[in-house]
Amino acid sequence: MPAPKRVLLDDRLLIEQLLTGRPRPRPNVELSTTTSWYYRACRAAMAGAGGHLSGPFEQLPAAAQERAILSLLELREEIDLPDPRRTVPAMAKLATRHPRLNLLNLEAAAVGRLLSATVWLSPQGAAGVLPGVLDAEGVAWKAMALG
């Protein structure tokens, strides 16, 4: 049996996965996210200000909104959250090659490398600076439509 394929979800895709249950990847695909993306998703769920990240929560009926928020605050075991003991040193090394890169993107690129993962980026993420860094670091990525 082939080794599982690792996929790293950005914050928008993480929210969608937890809210709508995007079509589940094949059984040999393992989902992960970063601490920064997980934090942003949780913060958006709690804040509910109607922005790109929190908008989907505002559109839900009250009971569904509460369940959705809890699903983020209790991240399902099937979505891995890599240990900062490994990611932080990798981020520090990456920062020497990309000194102007922000913390969010440093973590995404470092985790993508550590896990040999394909980074799934929402349209907003794919339009930013991260794809160029991922390319430079040899990390596979794919733009994924929302909805």
Q: What is the mean pLDDT of residues 1-7?
A: 75
User: Which one-letter DSSP state was computed for residue 142?
Assistant: E
Flag whether pLDDT at 21 surpasses 70. no
Going by C-alpha positions, the residue among 110, 94, 107, 119 that lies closest to residue 32 is 119
Question: Which pLDDT score is estimated for 82?
Answer: 95
Q: Judge whether 10 lies within some domain.
A: yes
Closest CA to 89 of 110, 68, 75, 109: 110
The Cα 19–Cα 17 span in angstroms is 6
Q: Residue 69 domain-assigned? A: no
Number of structural domains in the chain: 1
The DSSP bridge pattern shows strands 5-9 and 118-121 to be parallel
Q: What is the mean pLDDT of residues 28-56?
A: 77
Q: What strands, in cross-sheet order, belong to the sheet with 79-80?
A: 79-80, 29-32, 5-9, 118-121, 141-143
Got the DSSP string for 10-41? -HHHHHHHHHH--PPPPTTEEEE--HHHHHHH
pTM of the model: 0.84
Domain that holds residue 10: 5-37+80-143
CA dihedral 126, 129, 134, 135 (to 10 degrees): 90
Does some domain include residue 97?
Answer: yes
Q: What is the chain's percent helix, strand, coil content, to nearest 5?
A: 50, 10, 35
pLDDT for 98 equals: 96
Within-domain flag for 132: yes
In a domain, 105, yes or no: yes
- Bigger pLDDT: 141 vs 44: 141
CATH code of 30's domain:
3.40.50.1010
Domain contains 99: yes
**Using one digit for the tens of pLDDT, what is the confidence trace for 50-109?**
555 556 666 667 777 777 777 777 888 889 999 999 999 999 999 999 999 999 999 999
Q: CA 5 to CA 31: how far, in whole Å?
A: 9
